[in-house]
Structure formats: C-alpha cells, structure tokens
Structure 1
Amino acid sequence: MSDAESATEIEVPSDPLAGHAATAYFWGHVAGSGDVSDDGIEVVANDEASAQVLAAVAGGDLEHDTTSREYAHDTSITRTEDEYTLSIDGDDDSGLLGRSGTLGLPVDGRGNYRFGAFSNYDRELLRGLLEGCGTVCFKSKSGTVGISFVHDDADLLELVRDLFDDCPVDAPMGELSETSSGGYWFGVDDDAAPDFGAWLYENCDETGLFAPSRRRKLERSLEQAEAYDE
C-alpha cells in the first residue's frame, strides 16, 4: 500500500472544527498554505499523502499539478515541485464553512486565526504549519539542520512563535525578519533544530498526520549533520 493510500486511514472527528489531532493538523496546513474565504477553502500541499489526509479530514476535491517558484530566501533560485490543491466549496453540505454555527470558522473578522480549540494538539498544529509554510534543509557550510517558517503574514508567524512557548523541548528562535521576496520568516536555532524536529514527528505514524516526504527530508538532513560532525 502506498503512502497516499494509507494516509486516508486516519481517525477523523465528525466536527472538523472540534479540538482533535486531525483538525489541528488540517488547520495548520490551511493557515500555512491555504486561502479561506466565504466561497470556500483552497489549501496547497507538496506531498500527495498529506494532501490525501487533508481531504480525509475535510472532504473536497484534489487536483495535481507541478509548479516552479522562487526560493523564499533567494529569489535567484527556482525549484519545480509537485503541487496538490484541495478545494472545499463553501456551499457544500458539511457545514465546514458555515458562519451561522456557534463555532464558525477558526478566523475572526480580520482574518486572524483562532486556534484555541486545538490547544491540546500543539504538535499536530505546528506540524501542519511547518509542512504548509516551513522549510527544512541541511546547511552544508555549518553542518547543521535548518528549520524555518516563511509566510507573507507576519501576524501568523507571530502566532507560530507563541506556539513554541508551550513546546516541551527547548527551541530558541531567531527574530522575525523580512525575506527578499517581501514576506517574513524566522528560524529555529540550529542547535535546537534536531530536538525540535524529532519531537515534531515523534509517533506520527500512529495517526498518519504527516507528510512522508517532509519527514524523510528532515531525517536525511539530520543524518548529514551527524556525518558532518564525525
């Protein structure tokens, strides 16, 4: 069975707005790489298995394409990658986007995300955010692993930084800075990246709430860092 096939076999709550590991992961992705409007939701994933998970949580239609984009930290570099877009119609029968309910969308009238319902699932929320708007890389010059979050919305990244306060591993961060493409970013300190990354993906196989390609990239980067030290 492929990653994409097994990814849909996850525990999904009946209410996609309720506090649950699956919904925390889903809304982390939406915040990181999605667009929420009265018409619906579009969220983009670069991993087929994680895209299938998002569809299993909230329904909708998936489309696959390839795209070329500038690297956030250096616009002279472009990369081509798979792109899976999940579209959820605001008029569907699930009520996911209904504003008449007592819960409503996890955004306020100014577009700010409200994640209080997922306070017991910070790991899954952060994992979704990392896979939605984060980067993982091996820094060949220093022999360390880099983990950073990049987004056009500085307020969202400040919210991500607040989530680190409750992280059970010590994960100091750099200051929020502007990217060359006009967005914002911050990085986890290199010394803390291995422990943070290990915690973020710990036991994720039990729930299926992760992107296998992103976890493999993290594991390869950690292996490269260990070999560099040797």
Structure 2
Amino acid sequence: MSDAESETGDEPVAIEVPSDPLAGHPATAYFWGHVAGSGEVSDGAVRNEVRTADGARRSRAHIEVVTNDEESARVLAAVVGGDLEHDTISRDYAHDTSITRTEDEYTLSVDGDESGLLGRSGALGLPVDGRGNYRFGAFSEYDRELLRGLLEGCGTICFKSSSGTVGISFVHDDRELLELVQELIDGCPVGAPYDDLSETSSGGYWFGVDDDAAPAFGTWLYENCEATGLFAPSRRRKLEKSLEQAEAYDE
C-alpha cells in the first residue's frame, strides 16, 4: 500500500500497488495510461550513462508524466515513486491554436539508478517497444483503469452548448496510440462509437466519441473509482458537471 493525498487534503488515501510496476494491476494500468497519454520514457542505454563523483555509473533513463490535477499526480507518485514538480503554464488549445489557456501543471519524474529504471536495465524492459510504441498486453484485464489514465493524459471532457451534449475526445501527436485507444474502446462493455481520426491545427490527431454514447461511456469510465483512488477528481467533476448541464438542456 502507498498513500496519496485525498481530494480534500485532510486524509491520505491508501493506494494498492503491486511490487512489480509492470504487473497486471489497476494501479499500473492507470499509471501507464497516463504515461502514454501525457508522458515520455527515455532509454537508458550505456551511451546515456554518466559517472558520479565516486565513479559509479548512473543511468539517465527516466519516465516523465505530466498532469494538471494535483491529486492524480500524487496518486501516480504513490504507484512508482519519483519526484513531483509544480508549475503554472499557458498553452495553445489543441483544436484551435488561436486560443490559449493557463493551468497548473504537475510533472512526475522517475529516474533510473544502478539497477535500471523501475528495476529494468533499459526502456525496452518496460511496456514500450524499440519505436516508442506502447504495449499494454499485461493490463488487458484492467482496460477501464488504462482508458481512464489515457483520457486524463490526452483526452478532453466538455459540455457542448450548441447541441446540449457531452463531448469526450482524445488528442495526441501519435496516431498509432490513438488507434490503440480506439481498440480499447471497442473492447469496453459500453457501446461507444467514435469518429475517424482527424488532424488538429497543431499537427497532431484527434477523435471524438459519439455524443449519444459519451454519457454512458464517461459514466462507466469513472464508475466506482473511489474504491481504488485511481482517478483525477477535477476530471470527474468536469464529467459530472457536463452530464448535469446536458440533462438540464434536455428539460
């Protein structure tokens, strides 16, 4: 068990984690979903190693994952350790680069040591292949947590005032990752049709879940998440508020 701050900050939430960060488990599925959605794994090959003052070799391999939800960042740190940094940034909106937004950003960095990165000798020992593509076979029984991590890492939830519907979409520079997300959605127990991949104005790709299916898909995605603590409270609140707005619009 590891502890992460609760949503109110009053009491820590116990996060159940396996000893192996690659084992099939809800916590590791959620973590690697976040890494794929808004993170990066750097290789720890010998050429990247450095020597410390005492002559020991230290690997430069590291994992870095970014989120704008503080509690989610603490949960990710509880899963694998590492160091958290907080910053406030302004960035272009993915679908329209003429719009900027300012938000908190929490960066979790996990560095390798003499035993490697998370006990592995290099990035190839992690669920990432030689081309940087993610392999999620170990987490096949925990698709909900994996998809939740991916949504919180590279997805958006909004209320569409023009149609009175809830919008759920995924945005990323890696087309193959989004195709993998679509495969995961195909396998979920809630029917959730989605659009074809389209290019964004910033050069990446995106797709949206059909508006009619978004409420059921989003509700399934966050169902019973309090039991594990593996979720971003701000993202769940955004979903709940969007659902309420959609219901009020129908009335």
TM-score by length of 2: 0.87
2:127 corresponds to 1:106: yes
2:84 corresponds to 1:72: no
Map residues 16-27 of structure 1 onto 2, 5 A cutoff.
Answer: 16-27=21-32
2:138 corresponds to 1:117: yes
Q: CA deviation at 1:90?
A: 1.9
Measure, in 1, the Cα distance between the counterparts of 2:113 and 2:93.
35
1:27-78: CA deviations, max 9, x gaps?
0000000011122011001100000000000100000001111111111111
AA matched with 1:212: P
2:40 corresponds to 1:35: yes
Measure, in 1, the Cα distance between the counterparts of 2:95 and 2:114.
38
Map residues 22-171 of structure 1 onto 2, 5 A cutoff.
Answer: 22-38=27-43, 39-91=61-113, 95-96=117-118, 98-99=120-121, 104-171=125-192
Matched-pair contact (CA < 8 Å) for 1:4–1:50: no
Q: Name the Cα RMSD after superposition.
A: 1.7
Measure, in 2, the Cα distance between the counterparts of 1:10 and 1:69.
31
Measure, in 1, the Cα distance between the counterparts of 2:114 and 2:35.
18
Q: Which among 14, 17, 24 is matched to residue 9 of structure 1?
A: 14
1:153-184: CA deviations, max 9, x gaps?
00100010010121000000000000011100
Map residues 183-198 of structure 1 onto 2, 5 A cutoff.
Answer: 183-198=204-219
1:217 paired residue number: 238
Cα distance, 1:128–1:84 mapped onto 2, change above 3 Å: same
Matched-pair contact (CA < 8 Å) for 2:111–2:117: no
Matched-pair contact (CA < 8 Å) for 1:4–1:49: no
* Structure 2: stretches of 5+ with no match in the other structure: 44-60
* Structure 1: stretches of 5+ with no match in the other structure: none
1:104-134: CA deviations, max 9, x gaps?
1101111110000000000000000000000
Identity of aligned residues (%): 80
Higher radius of gyration, 1 or 2? 2
Measure, in 1, the Cα distance between the counterparts of 2:173 and 2:232.
22
Cα distance, 1:216–1:110 mapped onto 2, change above 3 Å: same
Q: Which moved more, 1:92-101 or 1:215-224?
A: 92-101
TM-score by length of 1: 0.95
Measure, in 2, the Cα distance between the counterparts of 1:199 and 1:133.
18
Q: Secondary structure at the match of 2:223?
A: coil
Q: Secondary structure at the match of 1:9?
A: strand
Cα distance, 1:129–1:226 mapped onto 2, change above 3 Å: same
Measure, in 1, the Cα distance between the counterparts of 2:122 and 2:108.
24
Q: Number of residue pairs matched?
A: 229
Cα distance, 1:144–1:96 mapped onto 2, change above 3 Å: same
